[in-house]
A and B are shown apart, each in its own frame.
Chain A
């Protein structure tokens, strides 16, 4: 069974600050997805990474997949209030999600 850990569980920052959240696995991911869930809505896919060491940028968001494909980070530069939400990464086995990281960006 693949065990996932996302950290931190909660993060509250001021608008304009940077933040990083992490997704760590006990085993190798075949691929890794990051989702963001805004209050009252379902999760929405942000990115998929497949290759170890891969870095993808989506405007102010930078996603990095670890060389061993067991961990990933999501970095947001100059956070905005619209970045507020729950950030999730699912595991490979039956696509379960953990508790994710709740990010609050204060105006």
Chain B
């Protein structure tokens, strides 16, 4: 029962470096999303996808890119890391089949990636 798997669990970057946070789910969910969590700020949506080849911006998309080439994978790319991107990042997935008011809102989260940018 893997669910949503995020790698790496921890990462330290220097300002200006690039990296990709990986997210994979094995539940055949159409909807996937990325959040960042900062103290006192809750979970803020970065990008989301409703299916392979379709992505859209959330609340805080600047500095991040995503792509969705398969149903299973939804990587998040930091193009040029900045200290403001120090955060805990969570990936989530959700089924889209079934009553919309129920399915899209039921999200399954990964364990998170803790990123520090120095």
The prevalent SS among residues of A at the interface is loop
Q: How many of chain B's residues touch chain A, expressed as a range?
A: 20 to 34
A41-B111, A88-B43 are contacts. A96–B59 as well, Cβ < 8 Å? yes
Nearest B residue to A45 via CB reads B106
A41-B112, A94-B59, A97-B42 are contacts. A48–B33 as well, Cβ < 8 Å? no
- Residues of A46-98 whose CB lies within 8 A of B: 48, 50, 88, 90, 92, 94-98
In the complex, the answer to whether A43 meets B43 with C-beta atoms within 8 Å is: yes
A30 vs B111: C-alpha distance in the bound complex, in angstroms? 27
A95 vs B35: C-alpha distance in the bound complex, in angstroms? 10
In the complex, the answer to whether B43 meets A48 with C-beta atoms within 8 Å is: no
Residue from A31, A33, A48, A98 with most neighbouring chain B CB atoms (10 Å) = A31
A45 vs B106: C-alpha distance in the bound complex, in angstroms? 7
Q: Which residues of A contact B (CB under 8 A)?
A: 30-31, 33, 40-45, 48, 50, 88, 90, 92, 94-100
